[in-house]
Amino acid sequence: MNYRHAFHAGNFADVFKHAVLCRVLAHLREKAAAFRVIDTHAGAGVYDLTAAEAGKTGEWRDGIERLLSATINPDIRQLLAPYLDAVAACNPPERLTTYPGSPTLARSLLRRQDRLIACELEPRAAAALARNLHGDVRVKTIAIDGWTAFSAYVPPKERRGLVLVDPPFEQPDDFAQLERGLENAHRKWPTGIYLLWYPIKEPGEVIAFTRRLARSGIAKILRVELVVAPKADATKLNGAGLIVVNPPWTLESELSRLLPALAAALGRDGKGGVTLDWLAGEATK
């Protein structure tokens, strides 16, 4: 695998994905019963925004830096608080030097009874992940292929939890793998929450993927998309999407307020846009 997330950490797609992730985790915390988070493509866990990789692309400046600089209404800031608080905890006061990846964000929202399995195959990233999350008895890091992990670790012993699947999308069959993996995991654990990330580059590919999911027979599928620039250039990442299976019951309402604020903060030249609809479930009853 050649993909290195250090070049892209903190970009608009990370901000979007991680803001939604933290909202889901905040909901899981509302009940006393333990939950488990399974992060199938966890990466290194923490990224240095002052390093050469981040400096080469500067993508974080149009992502987390832009969000932190934006004027945001208090109610939206409250929705973002679990995410922004975790980012702040990784940085010195009034400075942005470090960006927490999804396993670090998830760990920040675990309680004593909750658990996290963070999976990463690429050797350097896996070693960094183990170092960055070392010493926390609630967390287990595993050097394993993410697609294998997607199947291997469900269902967890806890009755509640979240599976985050965030592949690098380097291979032409990644959309198909995402679909097959979800269907297989859902058969084994139909009550789990699944959060699947995908890039929006080639619209036809995304449309075909979401249509297949709509026909999958899975009962509750919420589609969430954020676009920061026109989709005309398929070589550039101008949008990203999330599939949320079994979303917490108030998540749609929260995202209906949060997404426009993210689009306003992160959209380029006023070109931000959002999609929030049901592929299966609430809106189709």
Dihedral sign from CA coordinates of 137, 139, 143, 145: positive
Residues with active-site annotation: 166
Closest among 201, 226, 196, 228 to 212, alpha carbons compared: 196
